[in-house]
Structure 1
Amino acid sequence: MTYSDVTIVVDERDDLFYTRAALQAHRPEEGRITVQPTPASGSPAALAHDMLYALGKRLAPGPHSPDVWLDAVNTAWLAAAAWGIATGVRHVVVPRAHLLTIRRIDQLLAWREMTGAQLTLLWQKSPRGLPPALARVERCISGQDQFEALLAEPGPMPARPPFPPAPPMAGPAAVAAGQSPARQPRETRAASLRPGQRAHHCTSAMATAQLVQTAPAVEIASEEAAALAALAHPLIAGALSVLAFTRAGLGSLRFTRDLDITGDVCAIKLHGVGHRSCPLHAVPVWARPLLAGARAHHRLTPHPPRDSVFAPVMVAEARHLRAHAGRLPRLDLSLPAGTLVP
């Protein structure tokens, strides 16, 4: 097998130019990140943690950290892949790749397969030591001009766009977006009454958005939004963000499905007991990448669209969700998260 979206940059003399250029290329807002491997770390998930750090995520410190479950290799790499997809990463540059073990190189290649991003590895020693997996790479360069040209490339489009185009809206959702609403049947128009109104038959969020206005998001301080955005696990970040901007009970989140999040991640539908009240909530801009990360994590597992997105952190890993809620006292999320069974 060859890897057409993997490039080896040979820097046999370990020229400072290449390292400096790689670090300067770190521009997440443009879809390009530079991942710096932690030197001499024996943790099996160390490289995945380095990837999460480059993506702007911060693991909680301490021996009893609520992020201890991210010490598992597969869990950490799945989180890194979900965030890569959600944030639209197109190009990843890894300096000093010659220090990585074969196992970690294989992990990087597997991450690239999951996300569809371009991968550039700086091999800063003789190319004679390239492992078999990298010897099959089609693209190998060794000049400064070539490296600069590579960094100037926009990179491939993400294999899974984080915010796919949403179908045309009608009704209140279209009016809120500044569109002209399409003509609706009488029974449909009668359903369009007030923000957060329940939709019949518990349809998808997109179908509900054709009939019902979204309930406005609760505003939170920018510092709290930044703290939520820095959470390393996509499901925890997504779940706590929903609790923060809806102030809904935790039970409403328990049954949230993939199809309860609109394609553009602008609205989310929650569920009441017996589906007697299933309101549609607007998703604030700051929370959309977090919900996109949760949805990407759900789809990578994979699960059917009707499965609960947040189920893994509602039961099996409830203690981690509760612990993170406790670390955000200004949002006052400890009470709803505290109802979980550890």
Structure 2
Amino acid sequence: MRGWEGVVALVYGDVSIVVDERDDLFYTRAALQAHRPEEGRIIVQPTPASGSPAALAHDMLYALGKRLAPGPNSPDVWVDSVNAAWLAAAAWGVATGVRHVVVPRAHLLTIRRIDQLLAWREMTGAQLTLLWQMAPRGLPPVLARVERRIGSRAQFEALLAEPGPIPARLSFPPAVPATTERAAGGAGYFPARQPRGGAGSASMKSGRQADPCSGALATAQLCRPALALEIASEDAAALAALAHPLIAGALSVLVFTQAGLGSLRFTRDLDITGDVCAVKLHGVGHRCCPLYAVPAWARPLLAGARAHHRLANRPPGDSVFAPVMVAEARHLRVHAGRLPWLGLSLPAGALVP
């Protein structure tokens, strides 16, 4: 992944500058009222005078509805890393379909943070609008090259009304038919066999795995996914507010499957269907690899985990949750402990092989 603090190669087709030299309250008010995450448009308000290198990424996560755990021993200390924080913000932007980001008071940002914003836009494909609320002569060279500038109320209102570009879609691995999935399955693959007696055969009852190393799509062609556990809306909201996509995704899978950590450790990108409606877990030695339906509340969280995996340029055969189950196991345990009503018990040492 490209470093967030370096100079990046930029495409300016979806970057707009709103020049508000008189600092007209209209522009700030109109921007704040345009915050519609459900429509793919968010307003990111930079924290004034913050010296944290990842401060703007934190502001982006906040605008995306994520909340960092407070305290000196917070399990979210990972977001002090610029790269980790911006990668999380990009993953959530892709997973939630963000199409347009508006940043008021962009003239107060440093060159480095402007570069970070432009790099985020490049990764997500979203439209970026910066409110430059001072004289345009102060525009840094990286923004002076932007072709689209807006200097009237009518133009700004029209810009906010635009739907924005189609949300970024990361390159998905092609769907592998059950008859050709040997290459994707790797070692331990067994050719898929059609069930006897049709789809209603008892041998293909919900949750049973017919092909231990195939991905979720091929498995779904042979058996129905096991039903997922539904949870209260406030519990789903608590999980959705977690800032780290892998932690949010991992805990959500543990909640709706009630599976053990060992199964989650081997879950790959190709074990999640393209529509994030089913996920496949793996047992030790692939003796039990059930397929689970993903409830609606968990789909954005699992999509965020998969987007994080792909933005980090990891192959589809790699474990999606491996980074938080080994290197950051402590953070996963602490977050589980902060949500005791979910009934997750993650004893120390259980996550490290």
TM-score, length-scaled by structure 1: 0.91
Q: Distance in 2 between matches of 1:232 and 1:44?
A: 17
Equivalent residue number for residue 225 of structure 2: 214
Equivalent residue number for residue 263 of structure 1: 274
Q: 1:12 to 1:323 in 2, by over 3 A?
A: same
Structure 2 residue identity aligned to 1:290: L
Q: Choose from 237, 249, 257 the match for 1:246.
A: 257
Q: Distance in 2 between matches of 1:287 and 1:165?
A: 23
Give the alignment of 1:1-342 within 5 angstroms. 3-160=12-169, 189=198, 193-335=204-346, 339-341=350-352
Q: Work out whether residues 212 and 289 of structure 2, in 8 Å CA contact, stay in contact via their aligned partners in 1.
A: no
Deviations 1:195-252 (A, max 9, x none): 1101224201011001111111112111111100000000000000000000000000
Structure 1's consecutive aligned runs of 4 or more residues displaced over 6 angstroms after TM superposition are: 161-169
Q: 1:269 to 1:191 in 2, by over 3 A?
A: farther
Secondary structure of 2:31's aligned partner: helix
Structure ranking higher in helix proportion: 1
Secondary structure of 2:42's aligned partner: strand
Q: 1:163 to 1:226 in 2, by over 3 A?
A: farther
Secondary structure of 1:3's aligned partner: coil
Structure 2 residue identity aligned to 1:223: E
Q: Work out whether residues 79 and 233 of structure 1, in 8 Å CA contact, stay in contact via their aligned partners in 2.
A: yes
User: How far apart are 1:341 and its partner, in Å?
Assistant: 3.8
TM-score, length-scaled by structure 2: 0.89
Deviations 1:68-119 (A, max 9, x none): 0111000000000000000000000000000000000000000000000000
After TM superposition, the structure 1 stretch with the greater mean CA deviation from structure 2, 83-92 or 213-222, is: 213-222
After TM superposition, the structure 1 stretch with the greater mean CA deviation from structure 2, 201-210 or 114-123, is: 201-210
Gaps of 5+ in 1: 170-183
User: How far apart are 1:335 and its partner, in Å?
Assistant: 3.3
Aligned length: 328
Q: Distance in 2 between matches of 1:337 and 1:244?
A: 18
Secondary structure of 2:61's aligned partner: helix
After TM superposition, the structure 1 stretch with the greater mean CA deviation from structure 2, 45-54 or 214-223, is: 214-223
Q: Distance in 2 between matches of 1:280 and 1:188?
A: 21
Deviations 1:156-195 (A, max 9, x none): 00121799998999xxxxxxxxxxxxxx956594686211
Q: Distance in 2 between matches of 1:333 and 1:203?
A: 28
Equivalent residue number for residue 184 of structure 2: none
Secondary structure of 1:334's aligned partner: coil
Equivalent residue number for residue 174 of structure 1: none
Structure 2 residue identity aligned to 1:6: V
Q: Distance in 1 between matches of 2:195 and 2:259?
A: 31
Q: 1:13 to 1:286 in 2, by over 3 A?
A: same
Q: Work out whether residues 309 and 320 of structure 2, in 8 Å CA contact, stay in contact via their aligned partners in 1.
A: yes
Structure 2 residue identity aligned to 1:330: W
Q: Work out whether residues 34 and 41 of structure 2, in 8 Å CA contact, stay in contact via their aligned partners in 1.
A: yes
Gaps of 5+ in 2: 1-9, 179-192
